[in-house]
Structures are given as structure tokens and as C-alpha cells.
Structure 1
Amino acid sequence: MSNPHVIPDPIQAGLAAGWKVIDASALAEDRVIEADVVVVGSGAGGGVSAEILTLAGLRVVIVEEGALKSSRHFKMREAEAYPALYQEAGARKTKDKGINILQGRTVGGSTTVNWTSSFRTPPGTLEYWGLHFGLKEYSEAALAPWFEMMEQRLSVGAWNAPPNENNDLLRRGAGKLGVGVAAIRRNVKGCWNLGYCGMGCPTNAKQSMLVTTIPAALAGGATLLTRARAERLSFKGEHVDHLVCTALDGAGLAPTGRRVTLRAKHFVVAGGAINSPALLMRSMAPDPHALLGKRTFLHPTVMSAGTFAQRVDGYAGAPQTIYSDHFLHSQAIDGAIGYKLEAPPLHPLLLSTTMGGFGDEHAAMMRQFSHTHALLALLRDGFHADAPGGSVALGAGGAPVLDYPISDFVWDGVRRALLSMAEIQFAAGAKSVYPVHEMARGYATWAEAAKGIAALPYRNLLTRVVSAHVMGGCGMADDVRLGVVGADGRYHGAANLSVHDGSLFPTSVGANPQLSIYAVAARLASALAQSLTGRPAPRPRAQG
């Protein structure tokens, strides 16, 4: 009789069944591999594309710079998770070190470590894309079937468990002020409500690419190449001839000296915004209008911490279940910058490195950890001339570097967001509120906070800015003066090259982007599969 407390590990089972997985760190010699399609990246865009292309009968190779980890490796320990699962051990930063960027670097990409929040692309964003970038076929009605397909595939649905205290404080405080809130849909199945989603799901409840599309592709005959850095696409005229990958050591950091050459009929770049533009730059891909790497967006994010008399225990329970778009809808999309409010999970390492202060002050703040509540504001950049995002360039050794200057226009949104969050926290009963700013202090009343926040200087490195959402850099538009990729995902000037990830988005989404990437990648991969095979692409379906 099976033990109901044993959590099946689909990765372990698949490897035992003979999946074709090549760990490049173990290669003793160079390799050449041929396929119909090479997919660079195994995150939201790459995972969806790999499954659909494999289901269509194509030979697919998936390239991933990170390692293949699974639930047996996920121990809910920050010190182990960040180095193993994140870009630059969770310390990726912008050029001036002013913004910390959390991105996944493991099989499943950021979907393996995100907090499961699932939003469709806001209609206003799609309307803006149609008006300014000619993306008329990306209307709400046109994308609806693709959203429905991926929501079914990945078990996206309402989260019916009561919110944890961290999220419920947002609900209660906003309610007292007449600020509208709603529940966040999540891509989970059989969730244990642990709250450690950012460290890899130890129960395989999160329906990330790691436990859905990648296993489906491998079961269908695809090959997965891990610990392999995609260095350069080699062009012959308007065609990509091959991709050169560098094998990395067991730590995923240093080259071993081995190389893997991948040859294919078609290449899909899905390494995520920042990495995808960098690969194309290293490859000297066509870029006649100097658009590659430009208009990269982050949803610059600021935080406010509140201390409460009762325990909050922000680490326990589903991490994000309540949100407010009140401050998005109260602004015209191309007016003063709007922001989305959410309640992030709190874990000691993440909180301590995000909060300001040092020494005794910082220690005193951390002693209140179990009574601390946090709100974050995601600023919707990309819709105004004074919020143009940043640009990716190549640094030492061809590594990507994101330059992301913050304008006064954006700083004004930061100030308003900190005011909004503080007011909500006091309305919820906070004893004190601490905006995450190096010159702020803990304010004891809303009146004190309103005065103090208004007077703070808003400059780089004084105000703590973070982001887990990276979009743009390979902007999508059929007009080559506006985008480097067409509405069909095909790279302008390269006949057998596509981009299928969040780098396609011509602005930020204005919501957590994973579901937008799933739907767009499904649409593009299905069309690509039909183009390559001459048959309609099969529809992926949820397992079990």
C-alpha cells in the first residue's frame, strides 16, 4: 500500500524512466547535437514552447544554464535556495547597483521560484500595445483562448483558503479606507499552504514548468541540456546555422572547457528579458534600428514594513493571495505612474537584506520579525515618455548588464506608493510603519508618516528598489522601426529565429507577468509548430 505522505517526484521518476538529460558539467569532450528546434531557456516561455513543439512531433533540445533540481532538493532554506536557483545567487543588480533583480536560474526558470500569482494581461495594456505598436491581434478577445488553455494546463484558479495574516492585513486596512482589493489566482494543485514558494515547491504543488511542461516534453522525446550557457548563435546569411554553448562546472559558475554545438532547423530564444537580448547581442543578430536590449522594464518595486501587536508570521501560508489595483485604475495608463499593491512573503534573509538601516537599528527591526507585515508596490513602467525603462548592454566577458536610471516621474510614483502603503498599514492597526528608505525611520502615526514620507529625498541607493519582473528588450512589433521581433515571434532579418519570452513585451505588463508569458508563448509556439510541420499543433492538457 502506498504511503500518502510520500510526495511523488516527477523528475526522479522521469530520469529513472530514461529521459534524455545531459548535464554539461559532466561532459568529458565536446559534443554536437542535432534537432528540429533548439529552445534556449526552460522558464515560462521556453517550457511552454518546448512542450507544444514536442507534441507536434518535432525533435526538441532545451538548453538551460542552471541545474536540474526537484522537490527532493527543496528544503525551505534560504541559504541553499538562492545560490542554487537564482541568477547570481539572488544578487543580480542593475549597473549602478540601485535595483536588486530576482530571476530564476534553474530548470523551470523563474516559474520554479515565483510566488504563483497568476494574472491575465490587463486589457488597458493590450489596448496600448495595439495603438502604439500595431499589435492589433493581441486584443483581449484574441488572447482569451490562449489564456484559457494555459490556465487549464497549469491549474490556475481561485485560492479558496483564508489569506494568511500578512495578506489579510492588506485586505482589512484597504477596506477601512475604501480601497478595493481582490483575491489573486494561483497556479497550484494540492497546495500545502506552506509559504516557501520562492525556494522551490517541496510538495510539487506549484504547477511550474519544472513539473508540467518540461516533464511532458521529456516524456515526448525532447532532450534537456543543463549547466550549459548559450554563448552565441552563428549566422550564415539570414539563417542561424548553429548555437554554441559553454559547459559550466557543477556549481554552474566556471566554464569547464567543453563546448556543445547545437544544429537545428529553427531556434527559439526564451532565456528571459536581460539574458535573451544579451545572447542576441553576443551573436551580432541583425539590429538595424538599434532596438535590441532597449526598452527593458522591471516594474520597479518599493516596500513598506509595518509592526503589529499581534504575530503576523509573514513566512507562513500562501505568499500572495490579496492585491489591489486601486492605484492603477485611478491613473490614466499614460498619465502619472500607477502601481499595484501586494503583500510579499517574509523570510529572514530576504527581509534583512531588503530593509534599510544597520547595526543596532537593523537588529532591533529583525527582533520584530514575527510581528512584521510588508506591502509592496509594483510600478507600471513603459507607458510614458518619462518611464522608458532601461537598456541591456554587454559587460565583461559578454555578460549582460542592465542600466536602469530612475526618473523624477518614477520617483514621484515611489513617493505616492509609500504614502498609500503606510496609510493602509495604519488603517489595519500598525503600531509603527517603516518605509524601506535609508533615511526613513519608524513612524508611530499616519500623520507623522505622511509628513515624513513627503519630506524624504528620493534618489538612487537611498530608496530601496527591487524587482522580480523583467520584461522587454526584444520588443515585438511588425514595424521594424518599433520592434526587433514581429507579432508572430519571428526575429526580423533572421528566417529561422524566434523569441518566446517576456522580452517580447513592448511595455511592462502592469501585473505579475508569468501568465502573460504562458499565453503568448503558447500562441507563438502553436503557430511555429504548424509552420514547421504543416499540421495544426496539438493542444497541451493538464496531467492527472
Structure 2
Amino acid sequence: MAINDLYTDGLAKGWKIRDASTLTNDETLEADVVIVGSGAGGGTAAEILSAAGLSVLMLEEGGLYTSRDFKALDEFSSYSKLYQEAAGRATSDGAIPILQGRAVGGTTLVNWTTSIRTPKPTLEYWARDFGLKGSAADEMAPWFAKMEERLGIAPWAAEPNANNAVLRDGCDKLGLHWKTIPRNVRGCWNLGYCGLGCPVNAKQSMLVTTIPAALDRGMTLVHHARADRLQFAGGRVNGLTVQALDADTRHPTGITLNVRAKHYVLAGGAINTPALLLRSKAPDPHQRIGQRTCVHPVNASLAVFDREIDGFHGAPQSIYSDHFLWPEDGGIGYKLEVPPLQPMLASSVLARYGDALAQDMAQLPNTNVLIALMRDGFHEQSAGGRVRIDDSGQPVFDYDVHEPLWNALRHAFVQMAEIQFAAGAKSVRPAHIDAEPYASMDEARAAIAALPMRKHRAGLVTAHLMGGCAMGEDRQRCVIDSRGRHHETENLSIFDGSMFPSSIGANPQLTIYGFVSRNATALAEALAPAAKAAA
């Protein structure tokens, strides 16, 4: 079945899309609003602002890839083209790899479609500790509902694949909470390649939804374009310098774009947005930019079954458990989910090398993996990390793991093993360089208690970046106000994951959609009358 390429059709009808790598001269570009970044925040804002009649310019440092470019199980090509630093981004000490999108559509292009509303306790924490207004669960519900309808978000109706069924069945046997995951898909073929770009346009990413809608309304999209520096003066942004990147999006070509806009929206993500502000020496009287940058540190547990699991096939995430997310003792909780197991991704999770890795890979068809997403940023000893810039102005992310977080990670190893054994696993091994396969829960529990919990021994990873430009009315703790407007700069907004004061305790996609839908609507109402008057 042939899949129409939206962008081939769009260009034929006049969409304004430019590849900065092909430019041969410097240029000046102007718009009512410039949006830096094309992911969940940038894409949502683009649709809303263009619908208000504003001229919009969107900048994306990655390339434009569409359904015809996404090849099933071509992991090497997908990771090198569609992810930050060719999927090599990590914390400054290399202890936590970071999976983050870098192409038109941002991380929405490559995420696993999990779309969960912000937990009520998280919203209450933000309101109480950061002065975030108008964001209680009942106040946000209409905005979440709006974006759920827009993006086809609904609980996955098909039977979970065998990989996700392990989490469901193990929780059932143990009497633990589990629930079906809502996914942003329409007409999904259940292929399982979501992390490599959807080849059938079923995933309702920004690439196939809001960005085409904005292009239909006259938005200009420039890709291979890296935002370098904002110019600040008199309490305003007066310009943005943009570097054209080469075809591989690795190096500047030497061509510069000078951008002028009435309003500037930053939506480059929780590492790139703080880095851009720091490079630009943005007003920051309380030194908050880049601080409290949070992740969901993730550990994993590997189980081998007598039956086939084939975790590479089918919806990558369809079952989750919040049973351990909000512990009664107030400690660090975690969410349980399942990752897909394409070979290249799986090999990085298995935490082994040489003959041991080869043996693990031979058992991959019978292997299940559970992951635990730690809830970071809610406790004094787990208050996120820091984004800074190096001497060349590039982002660096420092992140430490303190004892309470290590304790939660150890606890998660035990609970995941218990669920896997309950679901029928014949052996379980924590993703830890010192662990071995364990044939019983008693053996696993004793071994996990003795594992050294430290960086580069326990396997950690993250795909969720939040914070660094906290949102709220407390100006001493927050960079932007409750509507995403910069506290010190009149014509600057931040609409991405960096706006959250902590991690979320859920996959961040829908939280970004909901908050940006609300905040971009308020911005459009403020800017549209001025734009009409100027016209």
C-alpha cells in the first residue's frame, strides 16, 4: 500500500520550506513570531499562532525526513539522522545516555507514542512550591482533552504485544496496579518501529499534524538551521542569529541568517533552550537558567522466557504501572513501562559485552525488558542537574545520582524481577554490569541487595528531559511565568519541556501539548490584535 508523502504534495501546492544547507548567501528573515524548534512545543505553538493570522517562521536544526525516508529496522540510519548527536548525547560524565529527537517533528518523530496526562500530585507540587497558577488538574483537563482529540490520543485498543503483556500479567499475579497506555496514533499498523520514524504516517507526530496545518496557513519552515544567539536590549529580544548547517547537520556552512520578529518562542528542548539562553547572556538575575534540569533516570530488568516474546514487533508501549510512583513514605517513586527491543537498541540495554553480549543477543527473541522511570526533582537530594555551556558555547549536562535515588533504583530492580518471575520468566538479570542471570526470586533479591549502585555499573538511560527554565510566578525560582512568558524579557516565551519545575512522573509528551496549547492560545490572543493593527 503506497503512503502519500505529505511534504511532496505540500511543496507542490506552495508550502514554504527551505533547506538552509543549500543557501549560498546570508539573508535576513522577518515574521510576527519565530519559533526555534519543531517538536511537541514548537509544533503545537505553530498551529495555534498561524491560525490566529500571525506570520510564523519555524527554525529546526535537524533535517526534514518524511515517511519515505523511514525504513523498517534500519536502526543505524535512523539513530544517526533523527536523534541528537546521532543518539550519542549523554550526561557530561557519560553515565546516562540521552535519547532525544533532532529533525523536523523533534522527539515526537521518534518517541514511542505514550501520551499520559500530568499526574495531579505533580501539578499540586508545581503550584505549591513554584507559584504556578491556573494549572490545577481540573483547569488543565480541557487543554489535555483538546490535544487528545487533535492527535488521536486514546488507550491502545489492540491486545498488547508479548513484551508488554509480561508487565500486565505479572502485575495481575501480584495484585499490582496496571493500566493501558493512551497512544497518539490513527490507523496504526502495529509495526513497532515508532522509535525509527513511522513509515505509514500513523503516529500523530508534529511532522504529520500541526506543522502541515501551519504550512497550509503560510508558515515558513527552515531546516538545517541552528539558532546561535539572541540579541537582548532594553528588556526585549531585538534579533536572532542563525547558522546554516551542512547536509549532515553537523557543521556550520558559514552562511548566517539574521532573524527579526515581534515575538520569539524557544522550543528546542530542555538542553538546547537553556544553552541558547546562556550563549546569548539572557537576563537571569537569580541565576536560574539551566538549573533544576530533570530527567527520569531509567534502569532496566531483563527476563528470559521459554516462549517467544519478539519485543521488536507491535506497539512498543501499551501497558504501564504506577503502583510504585507515589510511595506512602514520601520517597522517590517510579513508573514501570516496557521498551521496544529492536536489536541495536536492545544491545545497548543489555549492559554486557563480548561473548556474554553475543549470548544475550541470541536469546533476544525470548527476552522481555521492564524499565522503571524515576521521579526526579521532588526531593532535596534529587533536584535534577544543570545545563551549562562549554568554551565553544555547546551544551553540557551535569547530572549526579544521590543516595535516595540509588535506593529507589535498587528497589525497582527487585520489583521488576518479581513481576517478571510472576509472569513466568525462567531467569531474570538486572541491567547491571556486575549482575548475572538469576533463576529464582530469592536468588535475585539477595544478589540485587549486594550490587554496587553507582554510575557506570548500574545501567541507566533517559529519554525524558524537563526543566532548566522553570515556569511559575516565583521569580526567584522561575525563569518564565505561568503562561510561558520570560520574566525579564517582554517578547520572549518558552514552550518546551524546559518549562517544567521538575520531572513529571509520566512521559512528558502530553504535558507539553497541554501546557503549550494553553500558553500559545494566550499568546495568540495578545499578539493577534497588534498584528492586525500593524497590517
User: Please, what TM-score do these two structures have when normalized by structure 1?
Assistant: 0.96
Superposed CA deviations along residues 250-308 of structure 1, whole A, max 9, x for unmatched, are: 00001100011110000000001000000010111011111100000110000111001
- Native 8 Å contact 2:133 2:482 kept in 1: no
Mapped to 1, the partners of 2:306 and 2:501 lie a distance apart of 44
- Quote the offset at 1:330 in angstroms: 3.3
> Are 2:82 and 1:68 equivalent residues in the alignment?
no
Q: SS at the partner of 2:7?
A: helix
Letter in 1 for 2:113: T
C-alpha distance in 2 between matches for 1:220 and 1:461 = 49
Counterpart amino acid of residue 263 in structure 1: R
Note if 1:465 corresponds to 2:460.
Answer: yes
| Corresponding residue pairs, total | 531
Equivalent residue for 1:504? 499
**TM-superposition CA deviations, 1:508-541 (whole Å, max 9, x none):** 110000000001001110000000113999xxxx
Summarize deviations over 1:22-61 as a string: whole Å, max 9, x none: 1000001111100000000000000000110000000000
Question: Are the structure 2 counterparts of residues 70 and 125 from structure 1 closer, same or farther at C-alpha, using a change threshold of 3 Å?
Answer: same
1:307 to 293, 304, 308: 304
Aligned partner (choices 76, 97, 100) of residue 100 of structure 1: 97
Q: Which residue of 2 aligns with 1:358?
A: 353
- The correspondence of residues 81-480 of structure 1 with structure 2, limited to 5 A, is 81-331=78-328, 335-480=330-475
Aligned residue type for 2:442: A
**1:214-267 CA distances to partner (integer Å, 9 max, x unpaired)?**
000111000001001100001122110111010000000011000111100000
Cα distance in 1 between the residues matched to 2:208 and 2:528? 27
8 Å Cα contact 1:530-1:536 kept in structure 2: no
| Match of residue 541 from structure 1 | none
Aligned residue type for 1:268: V
Show CA shifts across 1:489-515 (max 9, x none). Answer: 111111100000110000111000000
Identify the residue that residue 11 of structure 1 maps to in structure 2. Answer: 7
Deviations 1:88-117 (Å, cap 9, x if unpaired)?
111100011010000000000000000000
Report how far residue 358 of structure 1 moved.
1.5
Contact 2:54 2:531 in 1 (8 A): no
The amino acid of 2:111's aligned partner reads N
What is the TM-score with the length of structure 2 in the denominator? 0.98
| % same residue | 55
Amino acid at match of 1:506: P
**Match in the other structure for 1:540:** none
2:515 is matched with which residue?
A: 520
Tell me if the contact between 1:472 and 1:506 (Cα under 8 Å) persists in the aligned partners: yes
Cα separation, 1, equivalents of 2:432 and 2:390: 29
**Do 1:100 and 1:466's aligned partners in 2 also have CA atoms closer than 8 Å?**
yes
Q: How much has 1:455 moved relative to structure 2? A: 0.6
The residue type paired with residue 15 of structure 2 is W
Q: Distance in 2 between matches of 1:480 and 1:244?
A: 28
Contact 1:331–1:338 (Cα < 8 Å) also in 2 = no
Structure 1: 5+ residue stretches without partners: 538-544
Rounded to whole Å, the distance in 2 between the matches of 1:482 and 1:83 is: 37
Counterpart Cα distance in 2 of 1:167 and 1:88: 29
Q: Match of 2:97, SS?
A: strand
| Deviations 1:432-467, CA, capped at 9 Å, x for gaps | 111001111111111100000111010011111100
Residue 54 of structure 2 corresponds to residue 58 of structure 1: yes
User: SS of 2:291's equivalent?
Assistant: coil
Asked whether the equivalents of residues 66 and 226 of structure 1 are also in contact (C-alpha less than 8 Å), the reply is yes
Match in the other structure for 1:34 = 30
Q: Quote the RMSD (CA, aligned, Å).
A: 1.2
Which residue identity lines up with residue 523 of structure 1 in the other structure? R
Residue 324 of structure 2: SS of its match in structure 1? helix
Distance in 2, matches of 1:535 and 1:319, equals 45
Question: d(CA) in 2 for partners of 1:366 and 1:134?
Answer: 49
Flag the 1:231–1:536 CA change in 2: closer, same or farther, 3 A: closer
Tell me how far apart the structure 2 counterparts of residues 50 and 359 of structure 1 sit (CA, whole Å).
48
**Distance in 2, Cα, partners of 1:519 & 1:534:** 24
Q: Which amino acid aligns with 1:325?
A: D
How much has 1:331 moved relative to structure 2?
Answer: 3.7
**Who is 1:20 aligned against?**
16
Q: Structure 2 CA distance, aligned partners of 1:315 and 1:6? A: 23
Query: Is 2:58–2:221's contact at 8 Å kept on the other side of the alignment?
Result: yes
CA distance in structure 1 between the partners assigned to 2:229 and 2:482 by the alignment: 24
